């Protein structure tokens, strides 16, 4: 009954291993090219994410042109200065020491977008929660990320960018929302902990504190 529809224990373990050892990679990229067939497997994994109303609202813009990367990297530097200015004291010093992107180091960059008009104005399942198509795209990111981990390929999500700069650099039409700018490449190694945890930025929260039963704030066994 709980045998996992044919998934063996070893197969389940493989999936959990990908989940637990996946990292947001910034500093360990190697320049080796990522083979096209491997890239295609990653995109196919993303394309098999759940999507509201089977809308499949995503597109995939692969970026390997150094001129395009340079332009986006220049915007990162600007955005990162703005972000650093929001912290003070020791926190700001720590922030400034963190490496937060691998745009130029990673051989491939990838923008996953959301086409909010795909499938027409009424999308099954999106009427009462208009963010559902964006969430579908985030699920596509996670599929790709886990597949990459199992392929020995690192992925880093760079969110310190101005949306308009991305639009300009990549020529995005107005109805297209950039969801995730990803850096992709082989790595020297995967860190054994999330980089921000390792750096002392924030700790992993205990799962038990995050779980409630039947009502917000009610713990298991409480009444």
Site for a second copy in 92-121 (CB under 8 A): 95, 98, 100, 119
> Which residues, in sequence order, are bridge partners of residue 59?
113
**Cβ contacts of residue 29 below 8 Å, gap of 6+?**
102, 105, 106, 107, 154, 156, 183, 185, 186, 187
Residue 29 near residue 154 (C-beta atoms within 8 A): yes
How near is the Cβ of 95 to a second copy at its closest, in Å? 7
Cα→Cα distances 163→72, 172, 188, Å: 11, 10, 31
Interface with a second copy in residues 168-197 (CB under 8 A): 170-173, 176, 179-180, 186, 189-190, 194, 196-197
Q: Which of 27, 104, 117, 125 binds a second copy (CB under 8 A)?
A: 125
> What's the rounded Cα separation, in Å, for the pair 144 and 28?
18
Interface with a second copy in residues 17-76 (CB under 8 A): 17-20, 22, 24, 32, 35, 38, 40-41, 43-45, 47-50, 52-56, 58-65, 68
Q: Which of 141, 183, 184, 185 binds a second copy (CB under 8 A)?
A: 141
User: Does 138 participate in binding a second copy (rule CB under 8 A)?
Assistant: yes
């Amino acid at each position: 009954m709980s045998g996992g529809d044919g998934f063996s224990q070893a197969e389940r373990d493989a999936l959990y291993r990908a989940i637990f050892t996946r990292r947001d990679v910034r500093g360990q990229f190697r320049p080796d090219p990522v083979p096209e067939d491997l890239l295609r497997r990653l995109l196919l994994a993303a394309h098999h994410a759940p999507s509201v109303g089977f809308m499949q609202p995503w597109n995939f813009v692969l970026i390997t042109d150094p001129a395009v990367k340079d332009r986006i990297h220049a915007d990162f530097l600007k955005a990162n200065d703005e972000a650093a200015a929001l912290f003070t004291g020791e926190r700001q010093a720590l922030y400034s020491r963190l490496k937060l992107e691998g745009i130029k180091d990673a051989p491939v960059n990838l923008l996953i977008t959301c086409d909010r008009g795909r499938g027409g104005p009424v999308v099954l399942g999106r009427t009462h929660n208009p963010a559902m198509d964006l969430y579908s795209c985030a699920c596509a990111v996670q599929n790709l990320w886990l597949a990459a981990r199992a392929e020995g390929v690192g992925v880093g999500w760079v969110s310190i960018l101005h949306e308009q700069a991305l639009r300009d650099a990549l020529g995005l039409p107005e109805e297209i929302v950039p969801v995730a700018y990803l850096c992709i490449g082989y790595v020297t190694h995967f860190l054994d902990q999330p980089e921000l945890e390792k750096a002392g930025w924030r700790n992993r929260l205990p799962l038990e504190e995050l779980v409630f039963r039947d009502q917000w704030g009610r713990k298991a066994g409480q009444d």
